[in-house]
Chain A
Amino acid sequence: MSALASPAMTGAPLGDSAAEPIAKRAAEPLIRFDHVRKTFGGVVAVADLSLDIEEGEFFALLGPSGCGKTTLMRMLAGFETPTSGDIRLAGKSLAGVPAHKRPTNMMFQSYALFPHLSVWDNIAFGLRREGLNAAAIRARVDDMLSLVQLTAQARRKPHQLSGGQRQRVALARSLAKEPRVLLLDEPLAALDKKLRGETQFELTAIQRRLGITFVIVTHDQDEAMVLADRIAVMREGGIEQVGTPAEIYEAPVSRAVASFIGEINLIEGTVAHADARETALDAPALGTRVVASPAGAARAGEAGCLAIRPEKVAMRRVNGHSDGPNTLTGTVSDAAFMGEDTLYRVRLETGHLIKTRRSNTRDGGTIRLGDRVVLNWDPADAVFLER
């Protein structure tokens, strides 16, 4: 594996047998989960899941705990075997390939640094297993140490490092072998909030620089949004939606996705009419009809749900008569100051609460608790959800 010695390693294929047939098969993505199913003694962890991950992507598996995201990652790493279905890497099935022969490396949630080895030896561990000569190992470890800025701590033992430093050792160790795919299991969960913010940018910078495919498992939607090029939202062993952070945020396909990612107003109702232009919903909770304009496949009479993000709901004080589609009046019930903006909850005459977010700038005048306000939104910003 001579490529290891060169610091420029953008997408350099490994000399591993599993990585050989990468010869630009455009049809096949780097990783393909093909109808993968995994059960643990009757309990379904992953249910008939198919998913493609492209080369060079920063991909996030996002979902609440127990949704199967960790099991999916462990199957890719080789620590679990699918009950049925196939996982392919660069067009080759991984079935029967043991963990230590896969061109994937994993950064563990607990970091799993070897406590009896120094930082240097931790990073060198994987390289030594390949039988590289001492000079190549030294060069590579030193490269990795400078990548994560830990050259001065090379001789320390893991217990002599801070949490952030340990995290970087874990990252360096898993990158040292220049894997085709780097798997990150909740990589930032153990860090405090400020450090997490800094590390997020560091991770994306390193990923861009190395061009390695990153697959991250997280339950933190903000983390997934900031880091990933694409996100798969998982729920109960299956995939709810795959898309870019913007797609998932702006156009969720189900109530589960919509409510898992960020704040949202979900308005239940019955479809009054639907055509290619808009979907209108009679919402008893609001006592009125609301409209979403992205075209859906809904039919009149069906039950459904209209989803609108709080920052898309405009709010102003009542002055005179207001009318038009998606216009509601109510009273400001409470306000949560969040720094750059404030999240208000407005109680309608029916008692239903609508959330709206307002930037804390001077324009627009102040709104106080108890004020009578008018809410409205552009139909194009609302989404109609059938599920």
Chain B
Amino acid sequence: MTRFGWLNAVSLTFGFAFLYLPILILVIYSFNASKLVTVWGGFSTKWYVALFQNAQLLAAAKMSLLVAVVTATLATVLGTLAAIALTRARRLPARTLFQGMTYAPLVMPEVITGLSLLLLFVALGIDRGFWTITIAHTTFALCFVAVVVQSRLTAFDMSLEEAARDLGASPVKAFCLVTLPLIAPAVAAGWLLAFTLSLDDLVIASFTSGPGSTTLPMRIFSAVRLGVSPEINAASTILIAAVAIGVMTATLAAKWGARRETRSQ
């Protein structure tokens, strides 16, 4: 291992400052007593109080949470199924193609995903609202779930499931009783990842939302255009906290699952 020299220290400081300074400033100003965004007027939590009295923002937050929970659940089911199919179907023709097609939305620009979905919903004559946002979020979130679950499944010892079948469990039972409990940490990590991805999405939600279905990032973005209010800072801080907790839990869940598996071998 190389020595942790001054060059590393400087580049690390700059790197993290670049990433987190804006967020840090936002968090600090959410506790600002002054209404002016650029002037520090002492510590206060009044904007958090105001936030919880702002019906519009609360409605948007509720919508965002609902979309995120439904999205995460749908994406986890579909993504896990996709991961199983891709891992198990070794002799599937054009398997690499299918694999690539599952992963492509990960790198697809959100604007394109959003626009294409909008065109689809318009063409099908579907009224835009809660369900269109949820469907749109599920489409891209399931790829992330598939990636997380698949990395776990490739390391999975198939003889465990065979042993369960050998002992009298039908293929479905064997999967539910043996495979699912063992890949549960990865599935949980996938759920949390999908949840946070959905919670902080602005672009795709903007394309697929309709009247009366505004998500929190959309509400924040439109409020900022009329001038930054400290209330928005407070709302953003809560959102950051939610996403950070989600991502950290997902990472820990995946790590814990991997460790349990290595220990048992």
A-to-B contact residues, CB < 8 Å: 41, 77-79, 98-101, 104-106, 108-110, 112-116, 125-126, 129-130, 157-159, 173-174, 177
Contacts and interface: CB of A to CB of B under 8 A. Distances in A.
A113 B164 CA distance: 9
B162 A115 contact: no
B178 A129 contact: no
A120 to B, nearest CB: 14
Contacts of A129: 167-169, 173
A100 B174 CA distance: 10
Interface string B150-190: 00000001011011111111110110011001100000000
Given A114-B178, A115-B182, A108 B159 contact: yes
B166 A105 contact: yes
B172 to A, nearest CB: 10
Contact of A100 (B157, B159, B166, B182): B166
Contact of B168 (A109, A112, A114, A177): A177
Contacts of A113: 163
Contacts of A114: 160, 163-164, 178
B91 interface: yes
A108 B171 CA distance: 18
Given A100-B169, A100-B170, A110 B264 contact: no
Given A100-B168, A112-B163, A173-B163, 19 more contacts: A77-B166, A79-B165, A100-B169, A100-B174, A104-B166, A105-B166, A108-B159, A108-B162, A108-B163, A110-B159, A112-B162, A114-B164, A114-B178, A115-B160, A125-B167, A125-B169, A125-B177, A129-B167, A177-B168
Nearest to A103: B168
A115 B264 contact: yes
Interface residues of B, number: 25
A36 to B, nearest CB: 20
Contact of A41 (B91, B162, B171, B260): B91
B26 to A, nearest CB: 43
Contact of A115 (B167, B168, B173, B261): B261
A247 to B, nearest CB: 32
Nearest to A158: B264
A312 B157 CA distance: 47
A126 B167 contact: yes
B225 interface: no
A207 B60 CA distance: 69
A130 B173 CA distance: 13
Nearest to A125: B167
A116 B182 contact: yes
Contacts of A125: 164, 167, 169, 177
B263 interface: yes
Given A126-B167, A177-B167, A110 B263 contact: no
Counting from the closest, the 10 A-B pairs by CB-CB distance are A115-B264, A126-B167, A129-B168, A112-B163, A159-B264, A112-B159, A99-B165, A100-B165, A106-B166, A108-B159
A99 B166 CA distance: 6
Nearest to A79: B162
30 contacts: A78-B166, A79-B162, A98-B165, A99-B165, A99-B166, A100-B165, A100-B167, A100-B168, A100-B171, A100-B173, A100-B174, A101-B168, A106-B163, A106-B166, A108-B162, A110-B159, A112-B159, A112-B160, A114-B164, A114-B178, A115-B160, A115-B260, A115-B264, A125-B169, A129-B167, A129-B173, A157-B264, A159-B263, A159-B264, A177-B168
Contact of B157 (A77, A112, A130, A158): A112
A126 B163 CA distance: 10
Contacts of B170: 98, 100
Tell which of A113, A114, A126, A130 has the most Cβ of chain B within 10 Å: A114
A174 B166 CA distance: 9
A106 B167 CA distance: 8
A99 B174 CA distance: 11
A122 B63 CA distance: 45
B167 A105 contact: yes
B189 to A, nearest CB: 17
Contacts of B165: 78-79, 98-100
A159 B265 CA distance: 7
Contacts of A157: 264
Contacts of B171: 98, 100
B222 to A, nearest CB: 48
Nearest to B261: A115
